[in-house]
Amino acid sequence: MRELHVDSVCKSFGNTSLLSDIYFSCRPGEIIGLFGRNGSGKSTLLKIIFGSLPAESKFVRVNGTIVSTVSESKKKISYLPQNSFLPSHLKIKRMIDLFCEPDGMKLLESNHHVKPFLHRKSNELSGGERRIIEILLILSSSAEYLLIDEPFNGVEPLYQEEIKKIIRQHSRDKGFIITDHHYRSVIEIATKVMLLQDGSLKEIKAQDELIKGQYLPEALP
Amino acid sequence: MLLLISAFQQKLILPTFCVALAIGIAGYFMVWSTPLVQGTGFGYFLAGPLTHYFIYELRNENEYFFYFNLGLNKITLYASTAILNLILGTLILFYA
């Protein structure tokens, strides 16, 4: 079955348990919006699934194959971290050449968001420009499951709309797990919403539950 | 994979050379009174992992994710640094 299956994720820092027995699954076509208060362990969970952070226990299976390290995640799971991950010493064109398969490479180089910056280094771009290039890079990878950490953070509304459009377009054949505090943008594109609270994950059916779960204030602006 | 490693190492070439040279100069003038070139050769053995740690672990930790997404892990990246600088240092010592 085509599915990202995550089970038995436990993570503690010292004596504090951050994640306790997390389980969920994601299929291509699904966009899971993952909410949680600051420090609830959203980014930690994504890093554990990706394989870049060890956990006390975890079970991650991608389309029937067990995955535990970043090497095993290659071409199966891609992860967009909270802060920019583009190497500052490389030009955008070189990064695309390294990151993409030949078909995706041509497509990405001709993209109107990328084309003007091909011969510039990432540290010469603004935060928003960098973020959209990062998202396009991650989306053009051959991985079927994408873990996206705060895609809208520090990005102007025009780019936010563009990012939502791009994610929707790619969600037909990829599965997404997105976490961001721009909850309206996430809810707009998500097919399933989950809340990480007190170390456990629960599915949210209505926005009221985010208020009850103490993620949203009672009086919304 | 070699292309990826070369992209990763590109950032370390100049700083590693500077640190290795500084070790060589320090050795020449102060500590061991070794010839400058030999000191620099030995310096590479230490400078490679040291520069790697400083530049990637302390200053640009997030850049690791670029390489992680392409299937390289930290062990592979550290090993590439160690092997590359071992070769460079040995070559310098050999020709000195």
Cα separation of A160 and A134, whole Å?
13
pLDDT, tens digit (0-9, with 9 covering 90-100), for A158-192: 888 888 888 888 888 899 999 988 888 888 899 99
Average pLDDT over residues A81-98: 91
The pLDDT score that the predictor gives to residue A106 is 78
pLDDT, tens digit (0-9, with 9 covering 90-100), for A193-203: 999 888 888 88
| Best residue of B64, B68, B76 to probe chain A, by most A CBs closer than 10 Å | B68
**pLDDT exceeds cutoff 80 at B30:** no
The pLDDT score that the predictor gives to residue A60 is 92
Average pLDDT over residues A93-113: 83
The model's confidence at residue B51, banded by pLDDT at 50, 70 and 90, is very high
Least confident piece of the model among A51-60, A161-170, B84-93 = A161-170
Nearest CB to A141 within list B7, B69, B73: B69
Higher-confidence residue of B76 and A107: namely B76
| Best residue of A73, A85, A86, A148 to probe chain B, by most B CBs closer than 10 Å | A85
The pLDDT score that the predictor gives to residue B75 is 93
Residues of A in contact with B4 (CB under 8 A): 98
The DSSP letter of residue B7 is H
B36 Cα to chain A: minimum distance (Å): 30
The half-sphere exposure of A143 on its side-chain side, counting CA atoms within 13 A, is 31
Maximum Cα interatomic distance, chain A, rounded to a whole number of Å: 51
H helix or E strand, kind and range, residue A195: strand A192-197
Beta strands at A77-80 and A4-13: parallel, antiparallel or unpaired: unpaired
Mark yes or no for CB contact A99/B73 under 8 Å.
Answer: no
The model's confidence at residue B72, banded by pLDDT at 50, 70 and 90, is very high
B12 Cα to chain A: minimum distance (Å): 10
Distances (CA, A) of A7 to A19, A23, A164, A173, A201: 11, 4, 28, 23, 11
Least confident piece of the model among A142-151, A153-162, B48-57 = A153-162
Mark yes or no for CB contact B69/A89 under 8 Å.
Answer: no
The pLDDT score that the predictor gives to residue A219 is 65
Cα separation of B69 and A74, whole Å?
6
Residues of A in contact with B62 (CB under 8 A): 81, 83-85
Nearest CB to A52 within list B3, B8, B68: B68
Average pLDDT over residues A69-83: 90
B66 Cα to chain A: minimum distance (Å): 6
Residues of A in contact with B72 (CB under 8 A): 70-71
Tokens of B71: 């299937």
Cα separation of A75 and A70, whole Å?
10
The model's confidence at residue B9, banded by pLDDT at 50, 70 and 90, is very high
The pLDDT score that the predictor gives to residue A59 is 92
Nearest CB to A99 within list B8, B10, B70: B70
Q: For the whole model, what pTM was predicted?
A: 0.89
Helix axes A92-99, A127-139, angle to 10 degrees: 20
The pLDDT score that the predictor gives to residue A77 is 92
Residue A138 backbone dihedrals phi, psi, to 5 degrees: -60, -40
ipTM of the complex: 0.89
What DSSP line would sit under A20-82, residue for residue?
EEEEEEE-TT-EEEEEE-TTSSHHHHHHHHHTSS--SEEEEEETTEE--SHHHHTTTEEEE-S
Mark yes or no for CB contact A79/B66 under 8 Å.
Answer: no
| Whether A221 contacts A184, CB under 8 Å | no
The pLDDT score that the predictor gives to residue B38 is 82
**pLDDT exceeds cutoff 90 at B67:** yes
Higher-confidence residue of A146 and A15: namely A146
The model's confidence at residue A132, banded by pLDDT at 50, 70 and 90, is confident
